[in-house]
Structure formats: structure tokens, C-alpha cells
Amino acid sequence: MNNQKPLQTYKSKQTTVIITSIIFMLFIISDIRTILSKDEWLPLALAGGSLIIFIVFLMINIKSFIHNYKRRPY
């Protein structure tokens, strides 16, 4: 059984989603800086692939945030 109150569980889920979204945004900014500043192909390819992956993760987090918000307890 879940002993936590529904509102506390909702808040902890949303806090986790927000924190991971911020971390993903920081990685995205870092990848963009790497792409703009490097001339070698290997760092460019790695940063480009990483950028795509982190954008997908951020979209999943935003979708999860909206899903949780629609089903929030009052």
C-alpha cells in the first residue's frame, strides 16, 4: 500500500520531472556550445548525437509533466 498522500506523491513526481528537465536543458546548451566552437568532426558528431538524444528525453519529460498535471489530485 502507498502510505503517502496523493498530493505529496504528485508534488514529488513533478519536482523530479522539473529537475531532470533542467539537467537535460543544461546538457543541450553544452552540446550547442560544443557544436558552435569545435572544428573537428568527432566532437561535432558526438555532440550532435547527444543533442538529439537529450532533446528527445526533454520532450518525454515535458509529456510526462503534462500527463501528471492533467491527473493531479486536488
User: 32-69 pLDDT, tens per residue?
Assistant: 999 999 888 898 899 999 999 999 999 999 999 999 89
What are the pLDDT digits (tens) for 19-30?
Answer: 999 999 999 999
Q: What integer is the mean pLDDT of 13-20?
A: 92
Q: What integer is the mean pLDDT of 16-20?
A: 93
Write down the mean pLDDT value for the chain. Answer: 89
Q: What is the CA radius of gyration of the chain?
A: 17
SS3 annotation, 12-54:
HHHHHHHHHHHHHHHHHHHHHHHHHHCCCHHHHHHHHHHHHHH
Q: Which pLDDT does position 4 carry in this prediction?
A: 67
Q: Which pLDDT does position 73 carry in this prediction?
A: 82
